[in-house]
């Protein structure tokens, strides 16, 4: 009994000690302590969130017979396309964020893609015209300028730092879902550095469960200080509605595009590493003697490129850039893309089991070969294709293997023979009828002689494809 009593006293003493260390519950002392409201955050940030209306003119086509001039002459111009046919405006709706008092608006590229006219609906109900300053399809971002009167200024949102965002942070999504009007939804940061979403070239997204729906694209994801931390861009959904999985472009990526638009740039220039990279799989990790898959493997280095100058070698394992861990090529590309050309980046690498530090001077991809752009017009499967000579700069723009050389298709007219033949931007043309193609002028000359059949060899997605196309 004595032992049991002593043990019971000890338990009581321990419970008393533990209780003393915990804060005691109490009744809220004021109305402010009872209420929890995001109203101050919304009041600070919502005036800078706008609606973006992208308008595209389309002519109604009453009858395909009017494509024939004979029928147009016989029946007159009634209903003929381009000759009195009724016009229809196709309108797509998105959101945007004002980031400069002069009226600069950042939104998604896909919101304003192919728009003939863009209008901005402000928080105060006014509608104003806007023009595109910079489009960047690779990040799915665009910067617009509101056409203002005089020196009018607009409310802006403060840019935050997406590198300081943590999983579990509360976030608000502000936009115009389904065109119902400005709407605020609340959630948390569900994940960071999502690199397999398949949305844009620079895969590095903030994931949130704040409801994001059609029309929210280009809207703001803000933190509890009312600062912009991301541009809402996509959702994962099987029904078209929100399932609690939304993705936002980190504001640190948007900041690069905004700054280049402010400086008058017509295209976004990013640092070029000059190295081929590979994700480390479980098998590769085992072969390297790693306990787990981590880092980014360097498979080859361009001679004279920034990586080579810094001392990076094939077989090196890049584990961090500027103190931020990288686990796949997308993460590394994001870290480089958010830094300025002319600056430096500290790389932490592992080489032969030893940890090392290298400093890479950030350079833009060079245009070592003149583009010599040509629009192919001769009767051939290539008619309607725009071709240029390959260089690291062109390869960077078209997402082509940096080691490729020769001629690449830069653009294809949708209504051309090249489009009908299946050619796409980024296709590298190696041979035409057994003749190697080294420069654009070689291809232009090669297709001037009509052929009954065309034997071509192209590289697409790193794979060589041979085909015979009709003349």
| 84 known member of a binding site | no
Residue 95 CA to residue 51 CA, distance in Å, equals 4
Residue 230 CA to residue 190 CA, distance in Å, equals 13
Residue 466 CA to residue 455 CA, distance in Å, equals 7
| 243 known member of a binding site | no
Q: Is residue 140 annotated as part of the catalytic site, yes or no?
A: yes
Residue 423 burial by CB count (10 A; 0-12/13-18/19+): exposed, middle or buried? buried
Per the residue annotation, which of 45, 95, 190, 217 is the catalytic one? 217
Residue 106 CA to residue 49 CA, distance in Å, equals 10
Residue 268 CA to residue 271 CA, distance in Å, equals 10
Question: How remote is the C-alpha of 221 from its chain's centroid?
Answer: 16
Task: Give me 103's structure tokens.
Answer: 């009226």
| 100 known member of a binding site | no
Residue 138 in contact with residue 270, Cβ under 8 Å?
A: no
Residue 288 CA to residue 286 CA, distance in Å, equals 5
For 420, how many CA atoms within 13 A lie in the half-sphere containing its CB?
11
Residue 296 CA to residue 318 CA, distance in Å, equals 5
Distances (CA, A) of 306 to 47, 107, 256, 359: 43, 32, 20, 10
Measuring CA to CA, which residue among 324, 321, 261 is closest to residue 103? 261
Cβ within 8 Å of residue 255, ≥6 positions away = 159, 338
Question: How remote is the C-alpha of 310 from its chain's centroid?
Answer: 28
Residue 363 in contact with residue 341, Cβ under 8 Å?
A: yes
| 230 known member of a binding site | no
Residue 376 CA to residue 386 CA, distance in Å, equals 6
Place of tokens 């617009």: 144
Residue 162 in contact with residue 170, Cβ under 8 Å?
A: no
Per the residue annotation, which of 92, 110, 200, 416 is the catalytic one? 110
- Helices 329-337 and 251-262, packing angle to 10 deg: 40
Per the residue annotation, which of 92, 95, 136, 140 is the catalytic one? 140
Residue 416 CA to residue 78 CA, distance in Å, equals 28
Q: Is residue 110 annotated as part of the catalytic site, yes or no?
A: yes
Binding-site residues for substrate, in ranges, read 110, 140, 215-217
Binding-site residues, in ranges, read 110, 140, 215-217
Catalytic residues: 110, 140, 217
């Amino acid at each position: 009994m004595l032992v049991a009593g002593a043990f019971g006293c000890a338990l009581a003493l321990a419970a008393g000690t533990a209780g003393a260390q915990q804060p005691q519950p109490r009744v809220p002392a004021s109305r402010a302590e009872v209420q929890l409201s995001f109203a101050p955050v919304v009041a600070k940030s919502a005036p800078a969130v706008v609606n973006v209306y992208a308008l595209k003119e389309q002519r109604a086509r009453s009858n395909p017979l009017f494509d024939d001039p004979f029928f147009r002459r016989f029946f007159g111009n009634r209903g003929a396309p381009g000759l009195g046919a009724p016009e229809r405006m196709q309108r797509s709706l998105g959101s945007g964020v004002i980031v400069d008092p002069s009226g600069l608006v950042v939104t998604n590229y896909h919101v304003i893609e192919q728009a003939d006219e863009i209008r901005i609906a402000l928080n105060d109900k006014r509608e104003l015209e806007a023009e595109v300053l910079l489009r960047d399809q690779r990040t799915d971002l665009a910067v617009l300028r509101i056409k203002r009167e005089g020196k009018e200024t607009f409310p802006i949102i403060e840019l935050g730092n997406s590198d300081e965002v943590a999983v579990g942070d509360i976030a608000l999504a502000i936009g115009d879902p389904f065109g119902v009007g400005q709407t605020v939804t609340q959630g948390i940061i569900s994940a960071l550095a999502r690199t397999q979403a398949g949305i844009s070239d620079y895969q590095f997204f903030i994931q949130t469960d704040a409801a994001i729906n059609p029309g929210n694209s280009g809207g703001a994801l803000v933190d509890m200080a009312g600062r912009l931390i991301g541009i809402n861009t996509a959702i994962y959904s099987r029904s078209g509605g929100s399932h609690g999985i939304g993705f936002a472009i980190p504001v640190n990526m948007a900041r690069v595009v905004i700054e280049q638009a402010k400086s008058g740039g017509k295209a976004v220039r990013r640092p070029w590493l000059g190295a081929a990279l590979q994700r480390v799989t479980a098998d590769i990790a085992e072969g390297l003697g790693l306990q787990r898959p981590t880092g980014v493997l360097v498979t080859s280095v361009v001679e004279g490129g920034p990586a080579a100058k810094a001392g990076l070698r094939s077989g090196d394992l890049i584990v961090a850039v500027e103190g931020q861990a990288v686990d796949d090529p997308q993460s590394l590309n994001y870290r480089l893309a958010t830094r300025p050309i002319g600056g430096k980046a500290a790389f932490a690498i592992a080489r032969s089991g030893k940890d090392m530090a290298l400093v890479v001077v950030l350079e833009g991809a060079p245009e070592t070969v003149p583009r010599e752009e040509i629009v192919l017009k001769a009767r051939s499967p290539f008619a309607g294709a725009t071709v240029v000579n390959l260089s690291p700069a062109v390869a960077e723009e078209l997402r082509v293997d940096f080691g490729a050389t020769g001629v690449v298709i830069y653009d294809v007219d949708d209504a051309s023979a090249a489009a009908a033949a299946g050619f796409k931007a980024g296709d590298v043309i190696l041979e035409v009828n057994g003749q190697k193609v080294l420069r654009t002028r070689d291809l232009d000359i090669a297709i001037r002689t009509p052929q009954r059949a065309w034997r071509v060899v192209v590289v697409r997605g790193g794979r060589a494809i041979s085909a015979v196309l009709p003349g």
